Amino acid sequence: MILIINGVKKSFTAPLDLKAALEQEGYDGMLVAVAVGGTFVAKGNYGSTKLNDGDEIEIVAPMQGG
């Protein structure tokens, strides 16, 4: 299935949950927050969040801001 991670299309093997997807992409243990389809997903819910073909995932981290 195709997931769109931070605006980039990537191919994954289904079925897949958010925790596994983040691990595969190298985010395991990193200071990030995540939204799927525009909705925030709390860290504790990564494993129970099933991903579907075409899901858009935003992964963000601290950055400079004004």
Q: Which residues sit at the interface with another protein, rule CB under 8 A?
A: 6-7, 25-27, 30-35, 38-40, 42-43, 58-66
The DSSP 8-state label assigned to residue 43 in this structure reads: G
Min. distance of Cβ 3 from another protein in angstroms? 14
State the DSSP string of 4-31: EETTEEEE-PSS-BHHHHHHHTT-TT-S
CA 43, 50, 28, 10 torsion-angle sign: negative
Residue closer to another protein, measured from CB, 1 or 32: 32
Min. distance of Cβ 11 from another protein in angstroms? 17
Min. distance of Cβ 36 from another protein in angstroms? 10
